[in-house]
Structure 1
């Protein structure tokens, strides 16, 4: 068969292999591939605060409503999904996951994501450029087919990064930084101050520096606290404020030494992490930070 006619055949073979692999992977959780596709879509919608009707879920998942009806009955019987009357439409039923349903879905998503990593390993993994190009090509082929949208893909994916995850990571990294700095009798906020002076300077006055530090939510300082922080590093002889704010020779030596130690620790933390994964994490965290700032300001 000529290569230019092989697209459909290869897509079909990949689809069959994928469905069979997912069926085997989620079978220990009491699910089939079709049930996983549906319950994963419901999971994504409920995390948006929505309780979709059966029709809405069918449209979102890109499945026929009569097929969804059969799948939902099985999920209800298994204690994974509940149906309650829709207050706005007595003929409709709102769908939601039970606590057991949430537990099973999250476990299934983890299993399937591991399977995706295995499947895409020959082309560089899920975050690799070849896989991104493949996703783009498949979306182009699907065109306007329901369930093929960016939103659908995003919502059925695992919401692996939550506010709790970010908070725990921040707490762990802050504790590690404090431990690294402890031997030099430098606090985390003082270290950040050194970085701000050297990277974002020059600062015309200590008041200007303190005003900037007070705007940085990660430091947790108000105006008075920022001013006290700045006065403290001056008193230690690490920062000079009799002209443009700068590190003293002692402060510069200490900062360079701490930077070397922090750099070594950072290299250990990041060892083995995929560069594409790190780039994705950076974009996600930057977006979350921007949105959070806007929400606070708005």
Structure 2
């Protein structure tokens, strides 16, 4: 390769095209393109933050041109993956929401794309390597600050001038990918992820003062996205299968303890593989950051 071929712009263009082509190929069995995935994953991330964005807000968040987002949204709406409704405060805008099918599709694509990301970054040590972290820092510096957004134009304040290294979208994507792994580990066991988490709560946090108390705990976990009624159904199902005690106090039965141990074995192996090679100090830092973000989000929700 000549010096001219080694120019930064040319290399970035070649890498970008190679990654986009690889992503298109990986997602083709699901009928999605890379651009459609970016839009759906971005909408998924905003939805996890409790937001229903307009097309312009989604365009700003995803880093896409509004006219392109409009075209993609129409295609995805026709495929039944999202809906476009009249915006409640802006008659010129549409408000976007994922359908149940769209959310399920995103969860499946996250596992595929994260696996592809591992493969594509393998030549530099994988996503957790120092080389990849330096690459991310370099690309972020080349992108520069995000142009400030005018208040009212996208619903975001003009003080937001740069994308932070870790965003709600990143956290939502990681949560979606890990949740998909849990579903994969439990596939064929006859136990759903919600039931498994309910069993863990019954054993590790119990005993509980009745089924309602355990169901209330599950319903209060925002990451589970369970209504009170759905949480009660999970708990009732565990009791019907003899996995938790049918009365007060509520805790695991002997059969439940055996099932939890059996189901937990492949999940622990999965976790070992997932965290393999990651720096323990960085994991501790990540844990502190996530704990602080959780606390801040809860404060914001309560208005304190």
Whether TM-score is above 0.5 comes out as yes
1:287 corresponds in structure 2 to: 289
Q: Is the 8 A contact 1:80 1:97 kept in 2?
A: yes
How far does residue 60 in structure 1 lie from its aligned partner after superposition?
Answer: 1.2
1:30 corresponds in structure 2 to: 31
How far does residue 161 in structure 1 lie from its aligned partner after superposition?
Answer: 3.7
2:47 corresponds in structure 1 to: 46
2:58 corresponds in structure 1 to: 57
5+ residue gaps, structure 2, are 149-160, 183-193, 205-267
Matches within 5 A, 1:95-174: 95-145=96-146, 150-151=163-164, 154-157=167-170, 158-161=172-175
Distance in 1, Cα, partners of 2:107 & 2:147: 24
Mark the structure with the bigger radius of gyration: 1
Distance in 2, Cα, partners of 1:87 & 1:175: 45
Root-mean-square deviation (Å): 3.9
Question: Relative to structure 1, is the Cα distance of residues 293 and 8 closer, same or farther in structure 2, using a 3 angstrom cutoff?
Answer: closer
**Could you list the per-position Cα deviations for residues 229-277 of structure 1 after superposition, in whole angstroms to 9, with x for gaps in the alignment?**
xxxxxxxxxxxxxxxxxxxxxxxxxxxxxxxxxxxxx99x858842426
How far does residue 142 in structure 1 lie from its aligned partner after superposition?
Answer: 1.1
Could you list the structure 1 runs, at least 4 aligned residues long, displaced by more than 6 angstroms after superposition: 162-165, 167-171, 173-176
Q: Is the 8 A contact 2:42 2:62 kept in 1?
A: yes
Distance in 2, Cα, partners of 1:113 & 1:277: 19
2:82 corresponds in structure 1 to: 81
Q: Is the 8 A contact 2:145 2:163 kept in 1?
A: no
Q: Is the 8 A contact 2:41 2:173 kept in 1?
A: no
TM-score (norm 1): 0.59
**Could you list the per-position Cα deviations for residues 54-112 of structure 1 after superposition, in whole angstroms to 9, with x for gaps in the alignment?**
11111111111111111000000000011112211222211010010000011111101
5+ residue gaps, structure 1, are 177-265
1:185 corresponds in structure 2 to: none
Q: Is the 8 A contact 1:120 1:131 kept in 2?
A: yes
TM-score (norm 2): 0.58
Question: Relative to structure 1, is the Cα distance of residues 146 and 129 closer, same or farther in structure 2, using a 3 angstrom cutoff?
Answer: farther
Question: 2:91 aligns to what SS in structure 1?
Answer: strand
- Greater displacement, 112-121 / 275-284: 275-284
Q: Is the 8 A contact 1:62 1:146 kept in 2?
A: no
Distance in 1, Cα, partners of 2:60 & 2:200: 42
Distance in 2, Cα, partners of 1:174 & 1:6: 59
Question: 2:96 aligns to what SS in structure 1?
Answer: strand
Question: Relative to structure 1, is the Cα distance of residues 146 and 29 closer, same or farther in structure 2, using a 3 angstrom cutoff?
Answer: farther
Length, aligned pairs only: 209
